[in-house]
Structures are given as structure tokens and as C-alpha cells.
A and B are shown apart, each in its own frame.
Chain A
């Protein structure tokens, strides 16, 4: 399939045409033409490299009432993503080569995005025995990111061994930093709001204590460590300190931790219940600064779909998590670009190139260069509209942004040169699967 994009503004601001054929970029420059190509007029649009999410919950196998590989892939494409890393807390858990290969091939079959399964660090996420890390790494899925996300690898010995063992496969351990004893029954950031609402607090120190320990373990093991969803100012400070020491640590922040604070919980609306919890405004500002200065490497969505009934209930009975793939780029624009903290080249770095590097995903190192795979998205940053349920393209609607005015809109997404979104609308599964 041949595509001609005209008049797109690249991340660096230069305006160009792009010709795509056979899944790769074949020509870049002004005044390009192609006889039988699908033409996309990108005048006024920003071209970004295809976004890569390091932290997605696709829920299949096991929780298909919340999301499937297909529906989650569509949500991702609608948000400008061309690759997602699918977290391991499925049922069965992604802790064997068989399960990760199944998830990966579902992704290939649907074709909206590249689905990179994350392997569980421990069998069944139980935190007791290492899972078949080698088999998953050497499987067809080629797993490089290992995580018990949803649970913390809290046993220090097991974490040490995991870091050492995974490093032998060029992998990385992505830690969900949450000291379990300090967060028993925890519902909300521990502080002023939890005190008033009478909800059990989730103290910042429960995250920071694990990060402090793990950066030291990673240093001792000379292994790669990735910190999932950093949520506090103190965590950012620890990562900054560790990087200055030369520790091989990377960190992610979610869009919701860049925008929302614990105050959103005051009405007990469970759409704002997430783990780690929404924090204070001081934390939000520190996380933005840390993302801007490179302390925090990437934005990752922690897209966590849940059925309606697990949010339409009392706060402490509700599930943790929010969907985020469809809104991530808008939130990053609002919190980082419109505030002057990051330019579009910076957005391309934190949402595409660096997450691909951390996940050892090829094809994202030289976007918009002749010969590179055509993973890209065309985005209109000039529009602004209330974010409504129609913008959600997965199975679940647990978005904290419904009703909120958000900037920007994804107009087109191309995965391996195949349009998955055109004119702001997802293309049909049959068309996408045909390529």
C-alpha cells in the first residue's frame, strides 16, 4: 500500500511531504507525487513518530469483558500509538513462552499496533519464584521487559536475582514500586485529603522506599531497572540522584500523574481511583519538571480498563485504574507542550524513541528517514473539545477526563505504512488486517 502525506510539520518544525510504500518511508521532501497513493493532506498537522507505550493493560487472555488485544489495539491506534507493551497480569499470567506468544500473535493478526508482551518476573505474579524469563526472552515474542506490575517485587533477594538474571537477556525489570505492608488497604494518597475523606492512606514513602532500594540493587547488579508510574516528587528526586551516580535506571510517568491531583477524589468519584494514587500539586509540578529535564525518561499510559460496575460503587470497593491510550497525547500537550516545558521533538523523545529503546523495540530510532518503518501519527494540536465517551475506542469507559476540555486530536495513524486511523476515524479491522 502506497501513501502520500503532504505538508506535515515534523517534530523539529520543518514542513515536508512523505511518501510511503511497502511499509517504509521511501521519499521525504517538498512537492512529492505518487500516482495511485492514498493521499493525506497534513497541512496544519504535526507529524510525530508512532507512539510507543511501555505500560498497557490489554486484559486478554482472561478479562475480555474489560478489554481485548483487538479493542486495546484500536484504542491505542486512536491515540496515535503504533506499539504497546502489554502487561503480564492476564489470566493465565504472561509467565510462559506460550502465553506471551499467544498475545503477540493476536496483536499481529489484528495489525493496529505492534503488541509487545511483557513477561512476568515471578510465576503467577506471586512474588515467590522467578518465571521462565529465558524462555520468554528467546520465544517468538522476544520479550525484553519483565514486570509483575500491579504487584511489587518486594522481596529484596528476589528483586536482586531478577535484575541479575534478566540482564543476561538484555532485558529490563519494570518495577511497580509499592511497599506492600505500608499500603495495606490503601485507597488514596496519604495526606490532607485522605484524612478528611476517611480513606486509608497510600504514603509517598511506600513508593520511595522501594525505588531507593531498587536503584541500589540495580547498581550492585549492574543491571537495567525501569520504574513504572513514578508519582511523587521524592521519587523523581531519587531517580535523579541514581542517574547522577550512573545507575542504569529509567523511569516513566503517566499522563494522569502529570495533570490530576488528589483533590479530584473529594467527591468519591471512583474514576479517579488509581494505583499509585493521584498525589499533591507539588508532586505534579515536580513530575513535569523531571520529565522536562530528562530525569523521567518516558510517558507511559498505564491504560487500565475496567467494566462499569467496578467503578459505579463506593470508592473502597472500586477497582484501581483508568483508561488512558486515547487521551495521552492530549494530556501531554496540555501539561508539557502548552506550558512550554517540552517541544514536539521532546514529545517524540518521551513518547516514541526512548520507550522503544527501553523495550528494545527496533524501528523507532530514525523516524521520518528514508528506509525507516512508517510508524507515525498526524496530530492536530490546534483544536480543543470536550473529551467525550465517543473518543474512547476500547471496551471500557473509565476515563477521568470525560467532560473535560482537552486540546488536540489524532487525525491519522500509520502502523508499518498501513493507516489505522484516517480522517480522525479508526479504520475497520478487515481493512487494517489486510494491510
Chain B
């Protein structure tokens, strides 16, 4: 395969809602190609030689940052990383100032992680930079590459080598946990819907957003009923214990009892159900160790898929413009 057979790029990737089914499938297919590269003796393509990708992480996320760095390097791009964890993005430095610093360096794409919802959209609309913008997680809004890699992992598990060209029509996906504060849930809901999957959300009422009624999903507070419904995919979201201080739920044990994937609940899942988690996991809280490490778990596939998906996205946003532009 050569990625050059995939034409027309993406301008930016800000939200999965900007993708129609054909565009989403195209990214998943390109990621299949990219996954093959990883199996080669020299797992590297010259596709983005001479292009520069800036990883701009206002909020620390080692996993996502490393995944984007690996993706860019496998495509032979140069990578500059600005991370809040180091001193390259000082606390309180504005998006605008940092963006303009980066623009002066002639960067071709910016991978932005930010604690504020909409930050990637603001950067893309601002005119402060010419570079393509890839949203690597914005507040509680979206995490598009996570949504894509989850879809990729689901499709791969379901269709294996026959994945190419397929959507997720008919797949029944249940997402459990803190929907209100989850950018992963939002990206999954919209993308899975676009790809034809049926999405069911399970959470205490306090952690379902007001306005969820307008989403293309069904909702409930009953995980046991959801398990009895035998979903194809059960995705457990990370619960942050500080939520109990804001009265979203009483305490961790109660949460775990009502909405945790315990060994006992795991035992009731049909054999074919995929268990997913975007990580990092609180083992023993929202998911038991047994469930996380079982054959049903797709959690490690999710990590592997991450690099392929990010290669595909970087390739698409950078293949539109001329090198060095």
C-alpha cells in the first residue's frame, strides 16, 4: 500500500462531528494501512519528511503526547513538543501568545491538548496561525482521535482482516460512567452514531448532562439492565473521586456497587462482548482487574490503535498543503 492512494486531506480535526461516515471510514482504512507499516522491518514512511508537527500540551497527558509523537516520527515528520509539564508552556501563558510563538517557527500542524472546551476550535478560527489544528482533547468537549481509535479497535475486533471499507452498522455500544465530564464519551457518541452503531449511556443522573435528551442515544441509570441487554461493547469511563465532593455521588464504594464492572457483573456478560476503557483505569473502582485483563478486553488494542489512527490523521491534515508552506 501507499498512503498516496488516499487523496484530499482534512483541513483540521477539531470534532468528530465534522466527519461524515465516508470520511470517518476513510480515516479508519488509512489507519489500517498505517498499522501495517508498524509490522515492517523499518516501521517508518517518508510521507511527511520536511514537515513539522508541534505538540502543544497545555494539559499534561503523557500517553496521548507519546502516541502523537510516535505517529509523527513514523511518518518522518519533525516534532517539537511544548508541554506544561516542562517549562516550555509556562502556567498562565495564553493560547494566543503560544500559538504565535509556534507560528513564527513555521510549524505545519499543531496538536493541541487544552483543559478548556473549544480551545482547538478557537485556535483554528483565530487566524493566529496558518497550521492545521488537531484536537488532542479539549476540556470536557471532545477527544476526536480517541473516538476514532475506539471505533478502529471495535471494527478490528468485529471484522478482523475484513475491516476495510466497513462502518459499525448495528453494533450495540454501552458507555458507562461520568458522561457529563467526559470528552471521550462525547467523541464516541457522535462518531459511533455516524458509523451506524447504537449507543446506550449508563450513569447516575447526576453525571448525565442536562440536554442529553437531544443526543442520538438511549440513557439509563441501571448497569445491570444494560448488561442483561447483552451489548456488543461495554466501555467503562474513568471516574474521578473528586466528583463525590461535588455531590455527584455519595462515595466510591457506592459508585462501584452501582456502576462498576465488578467480577460478578463481568461474569454475566456474553462471551463476545468487548470490554473497553480509555484509560488510565482505576482498577477496582470502575473496572475490576479481572475484567480489564480478560480476553474480552480491548484495552491494549486501544493503545496500539492510537498510533495508527494518529498517523492517519496527521497524514490527512498535512497532505492537503504543500511541503514547507
Q: How far is A184 from B246 in the complex, measured between Cα atoms in Å?
A: 10
Task: Give the CA-CA distance A201 to B140 in the complex, in Å.
Answer: 12
Compute how far the CA of A195 lies from the CA of B210 in the bound complex, rounded to whole angstroms. Answer: 6
Given contacts A267-B125, A268-B117, A314-B116, contact A194 B96 (CB under 8 A): no
B96 in contact with A312 (CB, 8 Å)? yes
Interface flags, A163-202, vs B, CB<8A=1, else 0: 0000000000000000000001000001111111111010
- A72 smallest CB distance to B (angstroms): 26
Knowing A195-B214, A197-B117, A198-B117, say if A315 contacts B122 (CB, 8 Å).
yes
A192 to B94 CA separation, bound complex (whole angstroms) = 29
User: Which of B95, B114, B121, B122 neighbours the largest number of chain A CB atoms within 10 Å of its CB?
Assistant: B122
**Does B165 lie at the interface of the complex (its beta carbon under 8 Å from any beta carbon of A)?**
no
- Chain A residue numbers with a CB within 8 Å of B96 are 309, 312-313
Q: Check if A195 sits within 8 Å of B116, measured CB to CB.
A: no
A198 B94 Cβ-Cβ under 8 A: no
Q: Which residue in chain A gives the minimum CB-CB distance to B180?
A: A195
Q: Is A317 an interface residue (CB 8 A)?
A: yes
Q: B214 contacts A197, CB within 8 Å? A: no
- B183 in contact (CB, < 8 A): yes
How distant is the Cα of A22 from the Cα of B94 in the complex, in angstroms? 53
Is the Cβ of A198 less than 8 Å from the Cβ of B139?
yes
CB within 8 Å of A: which B207-247 residues: 209-215, 246
Chain A: minimal CB distance from B250 (Å): 18
Most B CB within 10 A of own CB, among A193, A197, A317 = A197
Is there contact, CB below 8 Å, between A268 and B210?
A: no
Determine whether A203 belongs to the interface, using a CB cutoff of 8 Å to chain B.
yes
Partner pick for A197 among B95, B141, B210, CB 8 A cutoff? B141
Q: Is B117 a contact of A316 with CB atoms below 8 Å? A: yes
Could you tell me the distance in whole angstroms from the C-beta of A284 to the nearest C-beta in chain B? 18
A198 pairs with B211, CB closer than 8 A: no
Chain B residues closer than 8 Å to A193, beta-carbon distance = 211
Neighbour of B121 across the interface among A192, A195, A201, A268, CB < 8 A = A268
- Which residues on A sit within 8 Å (CB–CB) of B119? 314
Known pairs A198-B186, A312-B96; A317 contacts B116 (CB<8 A): yes
Is B118's CB under 8 angstroms from A268's CB? yes
Chain A residues whose CB sits within 8 angstroms of the CB of B125 once the complex forms: 267-269
The CA of A269 and the CA of B210, in the complex, are separated in Å by: 22
Is the CB of B142 closer than 8 A to any CB of chain A?
Answer: yes
Residues of B within 8 Å of A195, CB to CB, are: 209-212, 214-215
Q: List A314-330 residues whose CB lies under 8 Å from chain B.
A: 314-317
Cβ contacts under 8 Å, A198 to chain B: 117-118, 138-142, 183, 186
Q: CB-CB contacts of B118-131 with A at 8 A, as 1s and 0s? A: 11011001100000
- Known A-B contacts A203-B210, A267-B125; A313 and B117 likewise in contact (beta carbons under 8 Å): no
Point out the residue from A184, A199, A268 that lies within 8 Å of B122, measured CB to CB. Answer: A268
Chain A min CB distance to B58 (Å): 9
| Residue among A184, A194, A203, A268 with max Cβ neighbours from chain B (10 Å) | A268
Assess the B209–A194 pair: CB atoms within 8 A.
yes
Contact call A314/B122, Cβ cutoff below 8 A: yes
With a cutoff of 8 Å between Cβ atoms, the chain A residues found around residue B214 in the complex are 192, 195-196
Taken together as a complex, chains A and B put the C-alpha atoms of A416 and B321 apart, in Å, by 62
Distance in angstroms from A319 CB to nearest chain B CB is: 13
B141 surroundings in chain A (CB, below 8 A): 197-199
CA distance A192 to B215 in the complex (A): 8
In the complex, A172→B116 CA distance in Å?
39
Chain B proximity mask over A222-260: 1 for CB below 8 Å, otherwise 0: 000000000000000000000000000000000000000
Residues of A within 8 A of B209 (CB): 194-195, 201
Report how far A227 CA is from B132 CA in the complex, Å: 46
Q: Which chain A residue has the least Cβ–Cβ distance from B208?
A: A195
Q: Please report the C-alpha to C-alpha distance between residue A184 and residue B183 in the assembled complex, in whole angstroms.
A: 20
* CB-based contact B116/A315 at 8 Å: yes
Mark each residue of chain A from 268 to 300: 1 if its CB lies under 8 Å from any CB of chain B, else 0: 111000000000000000000000000000000
Closest to B189 in A: A196
Q: In the complex, which of the residues A184, A191, A196, A313 contacts B94, with contact meaning CB atoms closer than 8 Å?
A: A313
Residue of B nearest to A312 (CB): B96
| 27 A–B pairs (Cβ distance < 8 Å), ordered by A | A190-B211, A191-B210, A191-B211, A194-B209, A195-B209, A195-B210, A197-B141, A198-B118, A198-B139, A199-B117, A199-B118, A199-B140, A199-B141, A201-B209, A267-B125, A268-B117, A268-B121, A268-B125, A270-B122, A309-B94, A313-B94, A313-B122, A314-B116, A314-B117, A315-B118, A316-B117, A316-B139
